Amino acid sequence: MTNLSVNIAGLTFKNPVTTASGTFGYGDEFGDFMDLGRIGGVFVKAVTGSNREGNAYPRMAETASGMLNSVGLQNKGVDHFIKEIYPRIKDFDTHIIVNVSGSTLEEYVEVASRINELDKIPAIELNISCPNVKQGGMAFGTVPAMSTEVTRAVRDVYKKVLMVKLSPNVTSIIEIAKAVVDGGADVLTLVNTLLGMAIDAERRRPILSTITGGLSGPAIKPIALRMVWQVHNAVNVPVIGLGGIMNATDAIEFLLAGSSAIQVGTANFIDPAISVKIVEGIEAYMQKHGITDVNELIGGLRTE
Amino acid sequence: MEIKKTVQDLTVVSNISLNKRHFLLELVAPEPLPMMLPGQFVQVLVKDSPTTFLRRPFSIHQADHRRNSIILLVQIKGEGTRHLSHLREGEKLNVIYPLGNSFSLPTTKKVLLVGGGCGVAPLLFLSQFLNQNSIRPTILVGFRTKEEVSEIETYAKYGEIFITTDDGTEGEHGLVVDHSIFQKDHLPFDKIYCCGPDAMMHAVARIAKMQEIDCEVSLENTMACGFGVCLCCITPTDRGNERVCVEGPVFNTKRLKWK
Ligand SMILES: Cc1cc2nc3c(=O)[nH]c(=O)nc-3n(C[C@H](O)[C@H](O)[C@H](O)COP(=O)(O)OP(=O)(O)OC[C@H]3O[C@@H](n4cnc5c(N)ncnc54)[C@H](O)[C@@H]3O)c2cc1C
Ligand SMILES: Cc1cc2nc3c(=O)[nH]c(=O)nc-3n(C[C@H](O)[C@H](O)[C@H](O)COP(=O)(O)O)c2cc1C
Ligand code: FES
- Condensed to tens digits (0 to 9), the pLDDT of residues B42-57 reads 999 999 887 899 999 9
pLDDT digits over A57-82, tens only?
999 999 999 999 999 999 999 999 99
Residue A1 lies in a domain: no
CATH number, position A124: 3.20.20.70
What domain range includes position A280? Answer: 6-57+72-195+214-296
pLDDT given at position A125: 98
Residue A47 lies in a domain: yes
3-state secondary structure chain B: CCCCCEEEEEEEEEEEECCCCEEEEEEECCCCCCCCCCCCEEEECCCCCCCCCCCEEEECCEEECCCCEEEEEEECCCHHHHHHHCCCCCCEEEEEEEECCCCCCCCCCCEEEEEEHHHHHHHHHHHHHHHHCCCCCEEEEEECCHHHCCCHHHHHCCCEEEEEECCCCCCEECCHHHCHHHHCCCCCCCEEEEECCHHHHHHHHHHHHHCCCEEEEECCCCCCCCCCCCCCCEEEEECEEEECCCCCCEEEHHHECCC
Cβ neighbourhood burial of B94 (10 Å; 0-12, 13-18, 19+): middle
CB pairs under 8 A between A and B: 86
Is pLDDT at A136 greater than 60 in this prediction?
Answer: no
Distance from the alpha carbon of residue A297 to the mean position of ligand 3, in angstroms: 35
Q: Closest partner residue to A71 among B223, B226, B231, by Cβ?
A: B231
Instruction: Read off the pLDDT band of A185 (50, 70, 90).
Output: very high
Residue B158 main-chain phi, psi, to 5 deg: -105, -10
Q: Which ligand is nearest to the CA of B219?
A: 1
pLDDT score of B224: 98
Q: Is B6-99 CATH 2.60.40.10?
A: no
Q: What local confidence, expressed as pLDDT, does residue B117 receive? A: 80
* Predicted local distance difference test score (pLDDT) of residue B186: 86
Which one is the CATH code of B111-218: 1.10.443.10, 3.40.50.1980, 3.40.50.80, 3.40.630.10? 3.40.50.80
A6, A68, A111, A130: which is the annotated catalytic residue? A130
Mean pLDDT of chain B: 94
**Core vs surface per residue A71-84: b (16+ CB within 10 A) or e:** bbbbbbebeebbee
A130 belongs to the catalytic site: yes
| Nearest-neighbour CA in chain A from B168: distance (Å) | 28
Q: Is A82 contained in some domain?
A: yes
pLDDT tens string A235-252: 999 999 999 999 999 999
Q: Which of A270, A285, A214 lies closest to A243, judged by CA?
A: A214
User: With 70 as the cut, is the pLDDT of residue A130 above it?
Assistant: no
pLDDT class of A138 with cuts at 50, 70, 90 = low
Residues in chain B whose Cβ is within 8 Å of chain A = 4-7, 45, 50-55, 96, 221-236, 240-241
Q: Is the confidence at residue A188, as pLDDT, over 80?
A: yes
Q: Give long-range contacts, CB 8 A cutoff, 24+ apart: A276-279.
A: A276/A34, A276/A35, A276/A38, A276/A39, A277/A247, A277/A248, A278/A17, A278/A245, A278/A247, A278/A248, A278/A251, A279/A4, A279/A15, A279/A17, A279/A38, A279/A39
Give distance in angstroms: CA of B58 to centre of ligand 1. 8
A269 vs B54: CB contact, 8 Å cut-off?
A: yes
Q: How confident is the model at residue A192 (pLDDT cuts 50, 70, 90)?
A: very high
Does B3 score more than 90 pLDDT?
no
Q: Which of B53, B96, B230 sits opposite A66 (nearest CB)?
A: B53
pLDDT at B242: 97
With a 6 Å cutoff on the Cβ, whether B91 touches ligand 1 is no
Q: Given this model, what pLDDT does residue A134 score?
A: 55
pLDDT at B10 over 80: yes
Q: Flag whether pLDDT at A132 surpasses 70.
A: no
Flag whether A200 is in a domain: no
pLDDT of A137 higher than 60: no
- Residues of B whose CB is below 8 A from A59: 231-232, 234
Domain ranges of chain B: 6-99, 111-218
Q: How far is CA A200 from the centre of its chain?
A: 30
pLDDT at A189 > cutoff 70:
yes
Name the pairing type of β-strands B172-173 and B160-165: parallel
The number of folded domains in chain A is: 1
* Mean predicted confidence (pLDDT) in A257-270: 98
Q: Which residues of A touch B226 (CB under 8 A)?
A: 269
> What is the distance in A from the centroid of ligand 2 to the CA of A71?
10
Smallest CA separation from ligand 2 atom 3, residue: A22
Q: Would the pLDDT of A190 be above 90?
A: yes
Write down the ipTM of this complex.
Answer: 0.94
Phi first, then psi: give them for residue A144, nearest 5 degrees: -50, -45
Q: What value does the mean pLDDT take over residues A256-277?
A: 98
- pLDDT band for position A165 (50/70/90)? very high
Order across the sheet with A60-63: list the strands.
A60-63, A66-69, A212-216, A194-197
